[in-house]
Structure 1
């Protein structure tokens, strides 16, 4: 199997004690081009998502250990780490903050009702309310919908967002599309859906539980979802029932399955894989267990070629995990009872 080889550009040692990497993003650096498949439309201009190495910035949503639920966004650049504290406004026990990047700016969704939109030096966000638009007979978002911070990627103004409703386990079985116009400073919810379970070979007819959603991506007007099966039990203890990568409609209909596992529990061995979309062609696949067929090693899956790749980390960083890719840039981090180290790498090539 071919492997993507990474080399280190810069290493970061956080001064504060942070917990997990909840989600990540990349900023484009603001370069403007007139055309290209890797661009997004903003008004009459197109903003590149090429992520040039010089001046590139990566984003990381985390929180400080000493202050429960006090979230921060770390902006990484060649000059170091800039911490953007979200503060007590985001101390919400029901809704988690959701990070998304947009050109050379980024937003954080608060409590499904507003966006903290950061531009320039990120010192003072603009607060943009989110309208809960109306369907023919009801609001788009039900009152019991709760935002989850799972990683999403978008190349335009429609941003997919993960939600949970009815029963709250910190999972996501629903999604919505946020229609965000940074020029007019307007935002509204456009849909609220679950992924149809019957499309997956190993779905469970004994329950009404919709497939869980690990990560979402909107690219070239196509919506992609990675599901880690339907099981309600702890997958870290019992393993997954199945996983799959699918192209879906805004109503949750499965249009195409790009990847689908076997029934993982059939063999009696605990296994499972989580999937995270990146700002590139690659989906990051992370196994749950170190003793499975992958020996605990992450792999990449190309949405374009449908092929797997191994990952070769920089020397001395084999315990780090890969969190995002944009162009030739990769964001990695080391977790060991807290966030210990972050690295910005470049792709040397495929070997």
Structure 2
């Protein structure tokens, strides 16, 4: 199997104590309209595929250990780490904030109802209200939907967002699409769906639980979803029942399965793999257990070539986990009872 070899560009040691990497993103180096694009969407698509190294900044959604209820966004650049505290306004027992990047700006969806959109030096964000249908009786999002922070990626205006409803474990079994126009300062919800359960080979007919959603990606008007099965119990303790990568419709219908695991509960050995989409062609696959066939090591899956690739971390960084890729740039982090170290790496080549 081929392997993607990484070399270190810059290592960051946060001055404050942070809990974990909840989701990540990348920003382009300057105004997307200066990239030769005729529109915001075209410019954002250029950043999505090319992600030039110069001036690119990485984003991390995390929390401070001293204030675990409050979220922060860390902006990583060649000059260091800039922390943007989201503040008490984001404290919500029901909804997580959702981070998304768009060209040289980024947004945080707050409690399903508004976008806090950061550009420039990020000191004066704009507040953009999200419309949820035109009439009270025609809401797109149900009242019992709870927003989740799981990493999503989009190349254009339609941003997929993870949700949970009815039973709340901090997981995601539903999704919606957010239509966002940063020029007109408009945003609206367009759909609310679950992944079609019966289309997955190892679905559980004994329950009504929809497949869980690890991550979502919108690319060339195609929606990709990675599901980590349906189990309601702790997967860290008992393992997953199955996992799969699929192209789905906005209504959740499975249009194509790119890969699907076997039924993992029948082998007598705990197993499972989480998936995270990136700002590149790759899906990051992270095994739950160190004693599985992958020996606990991450792999990549190419959406276009449909091939698996190993990852070779830089020397001294084998305990880092890969969190995102954009062009030749890779964002890694070391977690040990807190966020210890962050790395910005470059793809040296494929061995």
Q: TM-score, normalised by structure 1?
A: 0.96
Aligned equivalents of 2:43, 2:322: Cα separation in 1: 32
Contact 1:33-1:46 within 8 A present in 2 as well: no
Contact 1:34-1:46 within 8 A present in 2 as well: no
Farther-moved stretch of structure 1 (48-57 vs 102-111): 48-57
**Cα distance change of structure 1 residues 180 and 7 upon mapping to structure 2, 3 Å threshold:** same
**Cα distance change of structure 1 residues 301 and 46 upon mapping to structure 2, 3 Å threshold:** closer
**SS at structure 1 position matched to 2:237:** helix
1:327 is aligned to 2:327:
yes
1:246 is aligned to 2:246:
yes
Q: Residue 142 of structure 1: CA displacement? A: 0.3
Counterpart position of 2:227? 227
Q: Residue 138 of structure 1: CA displacement? A: 2.8
Q: Deviations over 1:113-137 (max 9, x none)?
A: 0000000000121110101015996
Counterpart position of 1:42? 40
**Cα distance change of structure 1 residues 334 and 80 upon mapping to structure 2, 3 Å threshold:** same
Counterpart position of 1:55? 55
Contact 1:113-1:130 within 8 A present in 2 as well: yes
Contact 1:41-1:156 within 8 A present in 2 as well: no
**SS at structure 2 position matched to 1:237:** helix
In structure 1, stretches of 5+ residues that fail to align are none
Q: Residue 33 of structure 1: CA displacement? A: 3.6
Q: Deviations over 1:280-303 (max 9, x none)?
A: 000000000011111110000000
Aligned equivalents of 2:159, 2:45: Cα separation in 1: 16
Counterpart position of 1:149? 149
1:5 is aligned to 2:5:
yes
Aligned equivalents of 1:347, 1:285: Cα separation in 2: 17
Q: TM-score, normalised by structure 2?
A: 0.96
Q: Residue 52 of structure 1: CA displacement? A: 1.4
- Give me the CA root mean square deviation: 1.5
Counterpart position of 2:83? 83
Q: Residue 309 of structure 1: CA displacement? A: 0.5
| Alignment of structure 1 residues 117-128 onto 2, 5 Å | 117-128=117-128
Q: Residue 28 of structure 1: CA displacement? A: 1.4
Q: Deviations over 1:235-283 (max 9, x none)?
A: 1110000000000000000000001000011111100000000000000
| Alignment of structure 1 residues 102-113 onto 2, 5 Å | 102-113=102-113
Counterpart position of 1:217? 217
Aligned equivalents of 1:100, 1:327: Cα separation in 2: 17
Counterpart position of 1:266? 266
Aligned equivalents of 2:169, 2:41: Cα separation in 1: 39
Aligned equivalents of 1:316, 1:43: Cα separation in 2: 39
In structure 2, stretches of 5+ residues that fail to align are none
Aligned equivalents of 1:198, 1:136: Cα separation in 2: 32
Q: Deviations over 1:161-185 (max 9, x none)?
A: 0000001000000000000000000
Aligned equivalents of 1:181, 1:84: Cα separation in 2: 23
Counterpart position of 1:194? 194
Counterpart position of 2:96? 96
Counterpart position of 1:301? 301
**SS at structure 2 position matched to 1:48:** helix
Aligned equivalents of 2:277, 2:266: Cα separation in 1: 27
Structure with a larger share of its residues in helix: 2
Aligned equivalents of 1:263, 1:220: Cα separation in 2: 31
Q: Deviations over 1:176-201 (max 9, x none)?
A: 00000000000000000000000010
